[in-house]
């Protein structure tokens, strides 16, 4: 819910999105909870947001959803939304 970043299902965060800038380097990323063991979040305040929960695709859809199930549809949607072509390399350098 606004003003919080990420993807939310009601008051529970499904996907965290972040940007870090430092030492003239910008990095960014996201964490999409597919089949995450959500019990670990009982021991912390996720993303520093008191009173907010965390959820996963598996919990919301009511069946086991793995990263391998969601990776290609996610990448296809990313390319469509950002009007880009993803290039994959065996050498990350």
In the residue annotation, 34 being an active-site residue is answered as: no
Contact 30, 73 (CB under 8 A): no
Q: Report CA torsion sign: 92, 5, 83, 57.
A: positive
Q: How many CB atoms lie within 10 A of CB 33?
A: 22
Cβ contact 50:61 at 8 Å = no
CB atoms within 10 A of CB 34: 19
Which residue in 21, 35, 47, 84 is the catalytic one?
A: 47
Residues labelled as active-site residues: 47
């Amino acid at each position: 819910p606004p003003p919080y970043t990420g993807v939310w299902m009601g008051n529970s965060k499904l996907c965290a999105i972040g940007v870090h800038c430092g030492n003239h380097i910008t990095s960014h990323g996201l964490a999409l909870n597919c089949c995450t063991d959500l019990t670990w979040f009982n021991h912390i305040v996720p993303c520093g947001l008191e009173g907010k929960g965390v959820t996963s695709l598996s919990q919301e859809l009511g069946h086991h959803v793995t990263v391998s199930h969601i990776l290609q549809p996610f990448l296809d949607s990313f390319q469509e939304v950002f009007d880009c072509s993803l290039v994959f390399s065996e050498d990350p350098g």
